[in-house]
Structure 1
Amino acid sequence: MPPHEPRDDRQSRNPTRHRRTGTEPLTARSDLVLRMVLSTAALVVFALATAGFAWWATSSSRDSSPSSTVLGVLAAVCGALLLVAVLDLAVLDLAVIRRRRSGQRS
């Protein structure tokens, strides 16, 4: 039996499951540890960058280069990326890891 076909008839009768057409193995999984490490590293980097740019923007003078507006925009962009990292970790923890851990127990 090719690796991209269902193993038994129960899977093929389920109308919510679509038939596999790819060539990846049935046991293929994403590297959750690497994803968690990268999200955690991004969280730390963007938290420090957000705080650093915000502090630099508030302590700069009107005539300094880069201007406080540019630094504020950089702080906002880093803050948005920080939010993305936090949401990725939350989704990773809540949806993926808990679902896979519960599947391994049963």
Structure 2
Amino acid sequence: MSTKVTFWPSGVSVEVKPGTSILSAARKAGILIQTRCGGNAACFMCKVQIRPGSDLLPMADEERRKLAGLEQQGFRLACQAKARGDVQVDVPLDPLRAAVQKLLAKQAEENDDLW
């Protein structure tokens, strides 16, 4: 039996065994999720948002403490969240890529103003 994990905004899906972490599924799918602690719930960098209707194993106390209420908005730590069934994951842009995209959008807007 396998479950399907889909990563957004790319739309890339991967089949994994139930109990696989979202971080492991992302690596299998070629999706970059930043982590500094090696998947030990210590750095908070792998925070992702889980879409409603996704089927994950229950959250452990350590992850709940780390999220400090953000789990109520659908956030989980990719290194700790484990798929039970199909899962839909929103992966945030890494900070550098987000900054570059913001700068490019600003430059495009300024160029439009010149014409």
Verify same fold: TM over 0.5: no
Per the normalisation by structure 2, the TM-score is 0.24
Larger proportion of strand: 2
Per the normalisation by structure 1, the TM-score is 0.26
Larger proportion of helix: 1
Higher CA-based Rg: 1
